[in-house]
Amino acid sequence: MTERDLAIDAAMAVLDAFMAAFNARDVAAFDATFNFPSVRLASNTLRILQAGDHTPDMFVSGALKDWDHSAWERREVIHAGADKVHIDTRFTRYRADGSVIGGFDSVYVVTCEDGHWGVKARSSFAP
């Protein structure tokens, strides 16, 4: 297996853990899927996230008010190197009854820093 293949496997594992922690509303596990500081560009707003910025409140207000869970619909590698992978994604947000809130295209940049793979940046059309 090449370094590139190993990087892609590690990045996909991060996205699996990211979604699982988000759906479980597990803030500590969610934070563990990032390399901080991390950048989020969404709703025409750039945010620089630091460890501890995510809180349980984020799961019950704003765009996530009616949200129950999310799922990846697409994850395609755009570029990959030994310590960074760019991934074209689409995820869907669902209500508890299974109805769709919306589907959102995004690009995730997953990096390896000091041996830790995590989300370094994401640009999304999600609110």
**3-class secondary structure for 7-38?**
HHHHHHHHHHHHHHHHHHCCHHHHHCCEEEEE
Radius of gyration of the chain (CA): 14
Q: Span 14-41, mean pLDDT?
A: 97
Quick one: what percent of the chain has pLDDT higher than 70?
100
**pLDDT above 90 (res 81):** yes
User: Rounded CA gap, 92 and 79, in Å?
Assistant: 23
CATH match for 3-124 among 3.90.190.20, 3.10.450.50, 3.60.15.10, 3.30.70.100: 3.10.450.50
Which residues on adjacent β-strands are paired with residue 75? 89
Q: Span 8-22, mean pLDDT?
A: 98
**pLDDT above 80 (res 121):** yes
